[in-house]
Chain A
Amino acid sequence: MPDHSPRAVPIRETLAGKRILLTGATGFLGQVWLAMLLTRLPEIGRIFVLVRPKGTQTARDRVEEMVNHSPVFAPLHEAHGAGLSAYVSDHIEVLEGDAVRSGLGLDAGIQAHLHQRLDLVVHCAGLIDFNPDLRKAIANNVDATLNVAAFTRACNDAALVHISTCYVAGSRQGLVKEALTPTEAPTGDAFDPRAEYAEIRAEIAAGCEALLSDAARAEIAERVVRGMEKRGIPPEVTAVAENLKIGYEKRWLKERMKELGTAHATRWGFRNIYTYSKFLAEGMLLAEAGDLRLTIIRPSIIESALDFPLPGWNQGLNASAPIVHLGGTWFRFFPSRRALVFDVIPVDLTCNAMTTAAAALLLGEHAPVYQIATSTRNPLTMDRMVDMTMLGHRRWLRRNSESWLDRQVKSRWDPVVVEPDHPLRMENLARGAGFLAGLIERLPADLPQPVRELTERIGAMAKNSGFVFDQIDRILKAFGPFIYDDHYTFEAIAIDRHQPVEPEFAFATESIEWRDYWVNIHMPGLRRWVWPTINGHEIEPQEPEHRFRLQARTPAPRPASSRPGAQPRRQVLGGARQSAQ
């Protein structure tokens, strides 16, 4: 019988001198993990950071900007001051590439160089939009995973940590075991990842070709005509018509891809394209892994940091931020199920678990999968989350708002948890507002002036409100799987097998005091780092005292397989100027 009693894992000793390739370093989780390694493990050998160029920015530009302006790196700035550039340049190398491309989009010489040197690959990159264009979901979540796996397999001796999500569980109820079930869909049907992958790729190709069909062309032509009429532009202005046509073609294809993705997701028991694509990625990874040393990490909803890099640090609008923000508005009826567990995990605890699992993998003591979650260890119910959200908003409004209405009324305007089919749900309110606006538009034109003005004002309010209700409805539907559809909890015991020798890497979810976390850490963090973007504002910029610049290092030795006399291309930037040397 396998021995699952906890064993000490010496993280510092295990990771000292190791060379790691990290994808997704510019994302929420990847950034924090990178900063954590640089802060807590100066003994680490080298972190190769794979970054895409973006617009006019090179990968190097992006990394420099990130280290200079992201609050994640503030502790490093504080610790190293003017020495930060040297310290970071000694520890990282920036690779301009793309996991979506074969060979990670890297020059063959660089690939060969890395194949010989890497100890570990951590694949953190992915597309986390719930319902993106299917092409993007497959490319970023499946193809990229396969490319990373292939790259790792080609290494002499590297292991792979793949970041997935707990929500590959799909639509189901009850306890989700911490196990890999790549050939069983959430519906209970047998699932063949390779067959599904082939089918989805074929359907994507067919979908793209369908754009050229007579039906598609007719539909787009009609949209162009309507679009021109709406803008009051005569049909003979062909330049505008052509631009509109290009835009409508893109939109048409995107809509078809979303329909296709949703159909496949639904068929297999997933609530959205994201979770479907991550499940497919896991399945394909396991199908193609061969003898690759591999572990899969499935975090639940990654949220604000408890402590590292800063209490409350958060980034992006894809987790609880939009719905928690709603609690501070006049929105009242919150569709949810009171006893449903809302599984959130602070980002720094996620990184602790990643580091521990990575060390265990290198020691050969790892589990095949880790679910990094709180729902079975320290559950937070929806009812409690809604109540604390309201109380957190109340405290802020009473202390900070200049409006009497906000301080005395809105602060007490508690949302109530209702069933999703409540008569006053957003969908009905949006419909009602739209009906009212339409009714007002159809009023006779010969009304007395004061009446006309009043009805026009009411009509405008109804129209705006309808728009707002519709937006809120979309948000609630997107979050439906987390707040009312699926009532499950995630087993999370594999990580307990490993007891980090270094206490700063402990995965102590039981010690999270939810009230303190939610009201004193998480909500202030959202208010500072995330919600400004909802209102179209910028996040407060961080301006370091000493600007970080990637510096040249001593070139690495040329691998034996490189062609004699070949001049290396300048593709490895920053820490190592010369590639494949």
Chain B
Amino acid sequence: MEARPVAFFRVEGTLLARGALRASAFFAVNARGFRERALKLGQVAAIAPFALALGQNDRTTANRAAYMVCRGMSEDRIALLSEEYFEESIRDSLMESGIRLIERSRDQGFAIVLLSEALSFIAERIAAHLGPVEHLLANRLELKSDLATGRLLDPVVGGFETGRWVRSFAAERNIDLPRSRAYAANGPDLMLLAAVGEPCAVNPDFTLRRAAKEADWPVVYYDA
């Protein structure tokens, strides 16, 4: 069977401006019971400076730190709060321009693959909202006896591992990477963009902007 092209979209940056820290703050403020909420809000406040500092270059560690807040929360609570977070904070914030990029790729015959730093419970709702998606790679919480341990399972989306994952994914699914495209916004997504034949930097941060310029990749800016 002939290898087929895919369009990879890094959700954070192309569709959403917000990252993991805001979601983890939402989970913290809605943890079970007043005491737990106070504790987890304190955790978020302590983690926030590090997560923001790490964000440019080490989003893997930043995401791991942010989601530690979920430790001890039940899968039920995380799943149902994720639904609420999507409805109240994400659905109406998805950037129309990014959605149009997805639709255009779909119309041009590309299967859509989403890569998101959000928890899988949130990312699944984003994917469902955007129409047919071939695959979703999102951050998954480790669960033991239906409670989150606070650790993320590998691969953690956000860092350089995403680029490595794309190559193994392509090999498994008979995907033609040279004919595939990718849209991303962050420095650590360099490997993802470098893996495909049609990379595009969208609202790039400083690191990616410089790399895109050097590699002569197209750069797109939008904020809605």
Residues in chain A within 8 A of chain B (CB atoms): 384, 387-388, 390-391, 394-395, 398, 412, 414, 416, 515, 519
Contact = CB atoms under 8 A, between A and B. Distances in A.
Given A391-B76, A391-B77, A391-B80, A384 B32 contact: no
Nearest to B75: A515
A515 B77 CA distance: 10
Contacts of A395: 80, 83-84
Contacts of A519: 80
A400 to B, nearest CB: 13
B145 to A, nearest CB: 10
Interface in B42-89: 74-77, 79-81, 83-84
Q: Identify the 10 closest CB pairs spanning chains A and B, nearest first.
A: A391-B80, A515-B76, A388-B76, A414-B32, A414-B33, A416-B33, A387-B74, A387-B76, A387-B77, A391-B77
A388 B77 CA distance: 7
Contacts of A394: 80, 84
Nearest to B35: A416
Contact of B84 (A398, A414, A416): A398
Given A394-B84, A398-B84, 12 more contacts: A387-B76, A387-B77, A388-B80, A391-B77, A391-B81, A395-B83, A395-B84, A412-B30, A414-B32, A416-B33, A515-B75, A515-B80
B30 A515 contact: no
B30 A384 contact: no
Interface string B21-42: 0000000001011000000000
B205 interface: no
Contacts of A390: 32
Contacts, number: 29
5 contacts: A384-B76, A387-B77, A391-B76, A391-B80, A416-B33
Contacts of B76: 384, 387-388, 391, 515
Main secondary structure of the interface of B (DSSP, over half): helix
B146 interface: yes
Contacts of B81: 391
> How large, as a class, is the contact surface on chain B?
10 to 19
A17 to B, nearest CB: 47
A398 B85 CA distance: 12
A373 B84 CA distance: 32
A416 B30 CA distance: 14
Contacts of B146: 384
Contacts of B30: 412
Contacts of B33: 414, 416
A515 B80 CA distance: 9
A180 B150 CA distance: 47
- Chain A CB within 10 Å — which of B76, B77, B79 has the most? B76
A387 B32 contact: yes
Interface string B151-170: 00000000000000000000
A376 B198 CA distance: 54
A414 B80 CA distance: 14
B108 to A, nearest CB: 36
Interface in B73-111: 74-77, 79-81, 83-84
B27 to A, nearest CB: 13
A519 B81 CA distance: 12
Most buried by A among B75, B79, B80, B81: B80
Contacts of A387: 32, 74, 76-77
B106 to A, nearest CB: 29
Contact of B79 (A384, A398, A412, A515): A515
A436 to B, nearest CB: 25
Nearest to A391: B80
A384 B84 contact: no
B184 to A, nearest CB: 33
Nearest to B29: A412
A390 B32 CA distance: 9
Among A390, A391, A395, A515, max chain B CB count under 10 A is at: A391
Nearest to A519: B80
Contacts of B75: 515
Nearest to B74: A387
A388 to B, nearest CB: 5
Contacts of B77: 387, 391
B131 to A, nearest CB: 23
Nearest to B73: A387
A439 to B, nearest CB: 30
B144 to A, nearest CB: 14
B74 A384 contact: yes
Contacts of B84: 394-395, 398
A519 B83 CA distance: 12
Contacts of A412: 30
